[in-house]
């Protein structure tokens, strides 16, 4: 583990200072870079996947150019930005952004999880801690 504990989510500053990280750290840094470049949050989703042939989960960032488009997968293992339909090595489990949590389906967002608590608590906690560290 890059941070001495499983599933630690590093801020972009921590990630760049250490010059290494887990898949989550790459995704978080890509997310903030794309948001800074003007990409809307509604087009970016953190996606937990199962890696085919391995007993391992892996996080990637997916970008939807439009609501009905096949997402593009940004991954730290496969450096090519490919459509989700070309990533047969990954099985999506669930996706989330700042507003929504979805059960995933192949190459798409799938079904929104109903209910009032539809945000990923880990992500919300991360953002609150990040804001505290900046202020």
* Residue 58: CATH number of its domain: 3.10.620.30
Which pairing describes strands 82-83 and 90-96: parallel, antiparallel, or unpaired? unpaired
Which of 103, 135, 96, 90 shows the shortest CA–CA distance to 119? 96
In a domain, 125, yes or no: yes
Tell me, yes or no, whether 5 lies in a domain.
no
Instruction: 68-74: list long-range contacts, CB under 8 Å, 24+ apart.
Output: 70/107, 70/108, 71/45, 71/107, 71/108, 71/109, 73/47, 74/27, 74/30
Domain total in the chain: 1
Q: Is 7 inside a domain boundary?
A: no
CB atoms within 10 A of CB 91: 16
Q: Is residue 102 part of a domain?
A: yes
| Residue 94, strand partner residues | 48, 103
- Whole-number pLDDT of residue 105: 53
Q: Is 77 within a domain?
A: yes
In a domain, 12, yes or no: no
**Within-domain flag for 10:** no
Which residues of the chain are modeled with pLDDT < 70? 1-6, 98-135
The helix/strand/coil state of 46 is strand
Phi, psi of 56 (to 5 degrees): -150, 140
- Domain assignment of residue 111, given as a range: 41-134
Q: What is the pLDDT of residue 127?
A: 64
Give domain status of residue 123, yes or no. yes
């Amino acid at each position: 583990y890059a941070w001495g504990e499983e599933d630690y989510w590093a801020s972009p500053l921590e990630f760049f200072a250490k010059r290494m990280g887990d898949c989550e750290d790459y995704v978080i840094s890509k997310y903030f870079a794309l948001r800074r470049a003007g990409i809307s949050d509604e087009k970016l989703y953190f996606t937990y996947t199962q890696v085919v042939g391995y007993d391992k989960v892996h996080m990637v960032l997916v970008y939807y150019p439009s609501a009905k488009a096949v997402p593009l997968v940004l991954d730290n293992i496969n450096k090519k930005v490919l459509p989700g339909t070309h990533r047969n090595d990954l099985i999506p489990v669930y996706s989330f952004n700042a507003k929504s949590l979805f059960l995933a389906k192949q190459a798409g967002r799938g079904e929104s999880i109903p209910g009032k608590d539809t945000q990923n608590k880990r992500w919300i906690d991360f953002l609150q801690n990040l804001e505290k560290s900046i202020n």
